[in-house]
């Protein structure tokens, strides 16, 4: 129920978007005694946005979990890693400042704050994005929320909805904001239409916070902003973002002079498959690409140097997109799949999502049979067979061409299997990388010891057709450290703030070219808190 039914008492702060960034900001504003109107295009049941679907990994530095795992980490080390991986450009003033802010404050303002609210983390941090041609994470920093992003959103949303000042918060779902209202050079509200009835609405307040997410849910826009390093966009780019992440609010802010920057910076993934229960057009699932699988191009040629996940996600996307066909295959067997097959996000990690330790341990020890069966039986991009020849035939049938030559494929697999059989010291780069990954406990449990592909005890053979899947906008609306939206001259636009993915997770592109992972949810929490603090300070 609105506390201001007559509309006579204007809201102090309007937050557009009820994803994690908007929820955090609204919570902090209530905490500070501000009245908030939160508008979201989606239904109430989707409150929480993408974070609710997310895996829930968060980048923190020098935590108790790291120390218990005997991982040495420091702010200086993390900042050096971030800068190297980001490859910032000379003009990237605010992205750099936001990167420094993130690394310095993520543990205090993110990790400790969330823990104190009741969020729990998996005891062993994951080691992702170690770097390939550029330096990446020198240490494991990906702290998985026990319960995935669903638990993260549940804790935050419960805090918000049960807040002692709950009456000062008005939530309006099904409200699509189309434009920002301006008076005397400052933003004083927004306007749009309701999703169901198409009724016009207007809302006015002292200031407006854009928390409407990125633009990677609009695939035509993703293709139009395709980075030059990736050649031409592939015909099929799957959608792994929010169905309302269409950049509408970027455009609205741009019309008021906001600097919209780095939109060709995106965090897409190379191993997308079609969702078999799609909730939006082109809905894709992002596989964690099995490391012991052979990664082949659309013609069945092994991609060399071999692609192995865990080092540089952007490089995987570059390698796949710049090859003919614009999609790839991963070739493996059932045993490898049971150990390594995984999907990013809450939906296909039920044991972690539902906080069931025993089921989680069973999957680690015995293999994830449920996931293997679910994907191989339902997903159109999986084919299985007991011989390479039969598999090649099915791959060609799926692709609708004759691109795979069975004899060549047999020879490719044989060469790799021979290298496995010869044992260490490994002459194949993929096997060396697997050994490197397995040296860390967190990776050992989900990476098979060097495995032959053709092994009659591990049949059937499995081929997975994989497409690039769009996920996060790394660029966005440029902001300063107070999350104020800046114009092309670097001056703040009065009354306008941007947070979360809409703001490129801070500064219009805190990640530069590459993300160390877990920095998206973290960036939403930090920008949401920073905007609220700045608004409160401004009013003081």
Ligand X SMILES: Cc1cc2nc3c(=O)[nH]c(=O)nc-3n(C[C@H](O)[C@H](O)[C@H](O)COP(=O)(O)OP(=O)(O)OC[C@H]3O[C@@H](n4cnc5c(N)ncnc54)[C@H](O)[C@@H]3O)c2cc1C
Contact positions vs ligand X (CB under 6 A): 16-22, 39-42, 49-51, 53-57, 149, 175-177, 211-213, 240, 242, 244-245, 248-249, 344-345, 472, 500-502, 518-521, 524
- In the complex, the smallest distance separating the C-beta of residue 389 from ligand X, rounded to whole angstroms, is 36
* Closer to ligand X by Cβ: residue 41 or 323: 41
- Is 383 or 524 the residue whose CB approaches ligand X more closely? 524
- Angle, CA 110 vertex, CA 108 and CA 114 arms, to 5°: 110
Query: In a 3-state reduction of DSSP, which class is residue 259?
Result: coil
Bridge pairing between strands 200-210 and 492-498:
parallel
**Side-chain half-sphere CA neighbours of 367 within 13 A:** 14
* Whole-number Å distance between alpha carbons of 217 and 171: 24
Q: Which is nearer to ligand X, 313 or 451 (CB)?
A: 313
Whole-Å CA distances, 137 to 103, 292, 456 = 13, 22, 38
CB of 323 to ligand X, least distance (A): 25
Residue 17 Cβ vs ligand X, minimum distance, rounded to whole Å: 3
For ligand X, give the closer residue by CB, 333 or 519.
519
457/146 Cα distance (integer angstroms): 35
Q: How far is the CB of 75 from ligand X (least distance, A)?
A: 19
Phi, psi angle pair for 62, to nearest 5°: 60, 60
At 481, list the tokens.
Answer: 């450290």
Nearest to 267 by CA among 520, 524, 89, 79: 520
Distance CA 489, CA 286 (A): 39
- Min CB(223)–ligand X separation in Å: 19
55-82 burial, b at 16+ Cβ within 10 Å, e below that, comes to bbbbbbbbbebbeebebebeeebbbebb
Choose between 404 and 521: whose C-beta lies nearer to ligand X: 521
State the minimum distance, in angstroms, from the CB of residue 230 to ligand X. 20
Distance in Å, CB of 248 to ligand X, minimum? 5
CB burial of residue 403 (10 Å; 0-12, 13-18, 19+): middle
Q: 203 has which bridge partners?
A: 190
Nearest distance from C-beta of residue 503 to ligand X, angstroms: 8
The residues, ordered by sequence, that sit 6+ positions from 2 with a Cβ below 8 Å of its Cβ are: 170
- Listed residue (413, 163, 469, 434) closest to 291, CA to CA: 434
Cα Rg of the chain, angstroms: 24
CB of 147 vs ligand X, minimal distance in Å: 12
Name the residue nearer to ligand X (CB basis): 260 or 453: 260
12 contact partners, CB below 8 Å, separation of at least 6: 29, 34, 35, 36, 205, 206, 207, 539
Q: Which is nearer to ligand X, 334 or 472 (CB)?
A: 472
CB of 306 or CB of 509, closer to ligand X: 509
Nearest Cα neighbor of 249 from 97, 473, 29, 96 is: 473
Report the residue number, 42 or 480, with the smaller CB distance to ligand X.
42
In the complex, least distance from residue 157 CB atom to ligand X, rounded to whole angstroms: 12
Output the six-digit token pair for 335: 């045993």
> For residues 215 and 453, which CB has a smaller minimum distance to ligand X in the complex?
215
């Amino acid at each position: 129920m609105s506390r201001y039914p007559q509309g006579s008492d204007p809201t102090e702060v309007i937050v557009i978007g009820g994803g994690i960034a908007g929820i955090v900001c609204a919570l902090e504003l209530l905490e500070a005694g501000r009245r908030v109107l939160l508008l979201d295009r989606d239904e109430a049941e989707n409150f929480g946005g993408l974070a609710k679907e997310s895996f829930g990994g968060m980048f923190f530095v020098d935590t108790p979990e790291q120390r218990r795992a005997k991982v040495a980490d420091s702010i200086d080390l993390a900042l050096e890693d971030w800068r190297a991986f980001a490859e910032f450009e000379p003009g990237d003033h605010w992205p750099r400042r936001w990167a420094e802010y993130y690394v310095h404050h993520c543990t205090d303002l993110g990790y400790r704050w969330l823990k104190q609210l009741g969020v729990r983390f998996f005891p062993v941090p994951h080691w992702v994005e170690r770097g390939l041609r550029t330096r990446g994470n020198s240490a494991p920093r990906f702290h998985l929320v026990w319960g995935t992003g669903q638990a993260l959103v549940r804790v935050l949303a419960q805090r918000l909805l049960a807040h002692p000042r709950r009456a000062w918060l008005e939530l309006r779902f099904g409200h699509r904001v189309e434009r920002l209202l301006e008076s005397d050079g400052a933003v004083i509200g927004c306007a749009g239409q309701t999703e169901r009835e198409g009724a016009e609405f207007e809302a006015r307040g002292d200031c407006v916070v854009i928390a409407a997410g990125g633009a990677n849910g609009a695939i035509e826009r993703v293709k139009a902003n395709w980075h030059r390093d990736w050649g031409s966009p592939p015909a099929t780019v799957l959608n792994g973002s929010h169905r309302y992440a269409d950049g509408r609010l970027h455009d609205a802010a741009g019309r008021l002079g906001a600097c919209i920057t780095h939109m060709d910076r995106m965090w897409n993934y190379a191993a997308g498959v079609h969702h078999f229960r799609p909730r939006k057009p082109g809905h894709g699932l992002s596989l964690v690409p099995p490391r012991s699988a052979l990664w082949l191009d659309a013609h069945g040629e092994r991609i060399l140097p071999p692609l192995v996940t865990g080092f540089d996600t952007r490089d995987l996307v570059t390698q796949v997109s710049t090859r003919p066909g614009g999609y790839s295959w991963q070739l493996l067997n059932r045993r490898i799949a049971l150990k390594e097959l995984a999907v990013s996000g809450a939906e296909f990690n039920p044991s972690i999502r539902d906080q069931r330790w025993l089921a989680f341990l069973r999957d680690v020890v015995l293999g994830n049979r449920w996931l293997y069966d679910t994907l191989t039986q339902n997903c159109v991009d999986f084919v299985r067979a007991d011989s390479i020849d039969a598999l090649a035939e099915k791959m060609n049938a799926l692709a609708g061409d004759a691109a795979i030559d069975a004899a060549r494929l047999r020879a490719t697999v044989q060469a790799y299997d021979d290298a496995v059989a010869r044992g260490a010291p490994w002459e194949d780069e993929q096997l060396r990388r697997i050994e490197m990954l397995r040296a860390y406990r967190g990776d050992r449990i989900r990476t098979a010891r060097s495995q032959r592909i053709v092994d009659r005890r591990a049949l059937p053979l499995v081929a997975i057709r994989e497409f690039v899947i769009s996920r996060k906008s790394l660029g966005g609306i440029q902001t300063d450290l107070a999350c104020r939206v800046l114009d092309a001259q670097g001056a703040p636009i009065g009354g306008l703030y941007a947070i979360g993915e809409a703001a490129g997770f801070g500064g219009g592109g805190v990640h530069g070219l590459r993300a160390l992972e877990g920095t998206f949810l973290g960036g939403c929490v930090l920008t949401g808190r920073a905007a609220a603090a700045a608004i409160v300070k401004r009013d003081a």
